[in-house]
Amino acid sequence: MAARNISRFWEWGRKIICVGRNYADHAKELKNAIPTEPVLFLKPPSAYVREGSPILVPLYSSNLHHEVELGVVIGKGGTAIPQSAAMEHVAGYALCLDMTARDIQDECKSKGLPWTLAKAFNTSCPVSDFIPKDRIPDPGNVKLWLKVNDQLRQTGCTSQMIFSVPYLISYISEFISLEEGDLILTGTPKGVSAVQEHDELQAGIEDVVAMNFKVERH
Ligand X SMILES: O=C(O)/C=C/C(=O)CC(=O)C(=O)O
Residue numbers of the site for ligand X (CB under 6 A)? 18, 20-22, 26, 30, 32, 67, 98, 100, 187-188
Q: Got the DSSP string for 79-90? A: SS--GGGGGGGE
Nearest CA-CA partner of 30 in 144, 193, 203: 193
Considering beta carbons, is residue 156 or 181 the nearer one to ligand X?
156
- Residues touching Mg ion, count (CB under 5 A): 3
Per partner kind, with CB cut-offs from 5 to 8 A, the member of Mg ion, ligand X, none near residue 156 is: none
Any idea what DSSP says for residue 6? G
Per partner kind, with CB cut-offs from 5 to 8 A, the member of Mg ion, ligand X, none near residue 182 is: none
Strands, E assignment, 21-85: 39-43, 48-50, 55-57, 64-65, 68-74
CA distance 100 to 117: 9
Q: Which of 14, 38, 58, 67 binds Mg ion (CB under 5 A)?
A: 67
Q: Which residue is nearest to ligand X (CB)?
A: 20
- For residues 170 and 7, is the Cβ–Cβ distance under 8 A? no
Minimum CB separation of residue 98 from ligand X in Å reads 5
Angle CA(190)–CA(195)–CA(197) in degrees, nearest 5?
Answer: 170
CA distance 53 to 33: 36
Minimum CB separation of residue 151 from ligand X in Å reads 21
Considering beta carbons, is residue 67 or 182 the nearer one to ligand X?
67
CA distance 37 to 22: 9
Q: Which of 145, 188, 191, 211 binds Mg ion (CB under 5 A)?
A: 188
Considering beta carbons, is residue 14 or 21 the nearer one to ligand X?
21
Binding site for Mg ion (CB under 5 A): 67, 98, 188
